[in-house]
Chains A and B, each alone.
Chain A
Amino acid sequence: MTAATAAPPAVDTQSMTGSQVVLKALVEQGVEVIFGYPGGAVLPIYDAIFQQDKLRHILVRHEQAAVHAAEGYARSTGKVGCVLVTSGPGATNTVTGLTDALMDSVPIVCLTGQVPTHMIGNDAFQEADTVGITRPCTKHNYLVKDPEDLARSVHEAFHVARSGRPGPVVVDLPKDILMKPAPYQGKDAARRRTYQPARDPDPRRIEEAVELMTRAERPIFYVGGGVINAGPRACELLAELVRETGYPITLTLMGLGAYPASDKQFVGMLGMHGTYEANMAMHGADVMINIGARFDDRVTGRLDGFSPGSRKIHVDIDPSSINKNVAVDVPVIGDAEPTLEALLAAWRRRSNSLALGRTAAWWEQIADWQARKSLRFRQGTDSIKPQYAIQRLHQLTRDRDVYITTEVGQHQMWAAQHFPFDKPFHWMTSGGLGTMGYGFPAAMGVQVAHPEALVIDIAGESSWLMNMQEMSTCMQYRLPVKSFILNNSYMGMVRQWQDFFHGNRHAESYMDSLPDFVKLAEAFGAVGLRAEKPSEVDDLIKEMIKVKQPVIADIVVDRTENVYPMIPGGAAHNEIKLSPEDDGAHEAISEKGMVLV
C-alpha cells in the first residue's frame, strides 16, 4: 500500500515533511541508532532515513526483537532506546517488548506507523488501534493527528520516557501526517504543565531515615534497579554509603552490578532463588534500607512473613511503588542520586556518635549463614552442570569488557547466582515480565552500542528459539553476539515446578526435535560450537571468545539439575530450601501457594 512517491523534498526547515520533522527531532534528542522494520504506513520515514546519514537504522527480523534490542541498547548505555515499526501487525508485535520495558523501567520511544487519519476507524488494511492496545503497556502514548503537534509529541515522548521512573512511550504516526508539511520546534519549545516528577527527596524524610540507620543493630541494604537507572554517579554514592556504614547489602535481580559483587559486604542476590544469607538477613533485620526496589513478589515471598521485625525505609522515584505491597515506616520519594547524596551527607554529620561494633553480632550471624554455602553444586566428570559452565564463562572472560544478557528460566537464575558483576550497566535480563526470547535480541542491541565489547546471551534452548531469527540480523550487521545456550532439552524452570508441585508430571515441558545448533549456526553463516563433557567447556569458551563472528554455543547440560536455593511460592524467607535433600522441599508449598505463579 505505497502511495505515489512525491519528489524528494528539500531539506529546508521552512518546508519539511512530517517524516523529516520526526527524524530531526530524533537527532536533536541524541538518537544515533534506531531498531526497526519497514511497512506501508512508515514508508515516508524510511524514505527520509534513506536520504540522511545522521541516524543508523538496524533492520531486525521481527518487531518484538526491535524493542528488546532497544532495551539492551538502553540498559547498557543509560540512553533512550528507539524503535520504528509499521502499523497493524508491526505495532502489535511490539506489545511484548513494550510491556517488558514498562515492568523493568527501561526508557524506550517506539514510533509506530498508522493508516492515514481519514481512514482511522474504517478497519483499513493493517489498521490497529495502537494507542488503545498499548495504553496499558506504556508509560504514555500519543496519536498525532495534526502536523502542528508532531515535533512537540516526539520531544515530549523522550522527556516522558527518560524522566521520573523511566518507561516505554509510543508515538503513533498516521501516514498522511508523515507526508504533509509540518513545522519544526526544538525540544525546549513547549513543556506541558502536567507531569513533573519529583527528583529531590524531602529533607525531613532523610533525617528520619538516617536516624533509623544509625541505631540499627541488624541493618540490611536492599537495593534494586532504580539505582542503576539513576546513573553511574548514584551507584558510586551507594558504594560510599554502604562502605561508610559497614552494613551488609543485598541486590535484586535487576540491581545486580549496582554494588560490586566481589565486595565483602555484598551478601548476594535475594528472593526466590537468592542466597541463604541474603534472605535470612532480610528476614532477621531490624532496619531495612530499600533503595530503588519495589518489594516484588519474587523478592518478598509470603507478605505476612516478610521481614517481620524490621523498620523499613523505602527510597523510590515512583510514589505508587511505596506502600503498594509492603507498608513502610519511612517513605522517601526521589531520584536515587540526590537521595543517596542527601543520605550520605546526613550520615556523615552524625557519624561521630556512632558506637563501633554495634553490628558485630549481626555480621557473625551472617557469617554463619554464609557458611551454609547455599550456591554450592557438585560437578562430576560425566555431564556438565549448568552452574559450572557459567562459572567457567566468568573465569575465562573476567579480563574483558563483558556484557551479559539472559533469557528467562533456570539459566537466568544460575547466571544471576554464578556470574558476579562489579559494575552496573553490564547485566541485562527480563525481570518483571519474565520474557522468554528477550536475551538474544537484547544482546544484539548491546553489541550495537558497544561494538568492541564481548556480548554474551546466557540462554536456555527453549527461550533462545523464540527470537532465533535475529541470527540473520547479527550476520547482516556483523554483530558478533555469543549465544551461550545451556541446553537441557527442557523448559527447565517449568520442569522444576512440575517436579516440585505437580508430582513429576512433565506436561509439555520436554522439547523434542530440537535443531542441531551447530548446523543451525552454519546455516546462518555463523559459527556453531558444542560441548558435551565438563572437560570440553573451557575449550569451547576460549574458541567462542576468539571467533570474531556470531557464535551459537550448544552446552549440553545435566537435564535433571534444579535451581537452589528456592523459596517456594507462598513461603517466607526463612522457609528457604537449600537442596533436594532439604526436609520437605517438595511438600513445602501450601494450597494457597499453589495458585501463585
Chain B
Amino acid sequence: MLKYFEKLGTYALDYINEAGRMGIFLFHSAVSIVKPPYKIFPVLKQTYIIGTLSIFVILFTGAFTGMVLGLQGYHTLSKFGAEGLLGSAVSLSLIRELGPVLAALMVTGRAGSAMCAEIGVMRISEQIDALECMAIDPHKYIVAPKFIAGIISLPLLTAIFDVIGIFGGYLIGVGLLGANEGMYFSSIYKDVEFSDVYMGFVKSLCFGMLIIWICSSKGFFVHLSRDGGYGAEGVSRVTTDAVVLSSVSILVFDYFLTSVLL
C-alpha cells in the first residue's frame, strides 16, 4: 500500500518537475528571442520548414473542411429554409473555430513532430552539449528561430485555411447543391466582423507558440524524460508525447481562449 503512494508521489513530482522545466524553457526562449544579435536567415529557413512546407496539407484539409461544412450546412439550413445563410455559417465556423484549430493540428502533425524529433536527436547525440560547450546558447541558436517562425506561420496558414475553406463551401453549397451565389458571399460580407477575424488571429498566434513550445521543449529534455529518454526509442516516445500533448493543449486552450475572447 505504501509503495502505491510512493509511486503516486514520484509521478506527481515528475510531472511538477517537467512543468517547471518547460516553464523555464519558455522563459529562456522568450529572452533569447529578444536578445541580440538578430539573424534573419535561420528565421527564414524555419518559416520555410514550418510554414511553406505545410501549405499543401493546409490547402487540402482546408478545402475538404469547407466542402463538408458546405454539405452539412446546406442540408441543415435548408430544413429551416435558411440556405441563404450558408456563406456566413461556413465562414464563421472556419474563421472563429475550425481554421485556427485544424491548421494548428495539421502543423503539429507535420512540423511539430519533426521539430521534436530533430531537437531530440540533437540532444541524444550530444550536439546540444557541444553547442553549450562552444558558448553558443542553444535557445538562441535552435529554439528562437522556430518560435519566431511559428508565430509568423500559424496566422498565415490559418488565413489560407479559412479562405480555401470558404471556397470549398462555395464549391459544394453553390456549385453542387445550388445555393444562391450572391447570397453566399453577401452573407459572409454582412455577418463576418473584425472581432471574428481577430479571434481567429489571436487563437492562431497562441497555438503557434503552444506548438513550438511543447514540441521543442519535449525534444530538448528528451534525456530527462520520465521513463529513461535516451536512444531512438526515447526520441520516438517524446515525439509521440509532444504531438499528443500539443493536440490536446490546442483543444483545451481553444475553449479557454474562446471563453475569454467572446
Q: Do A and B bind each other?
A: no
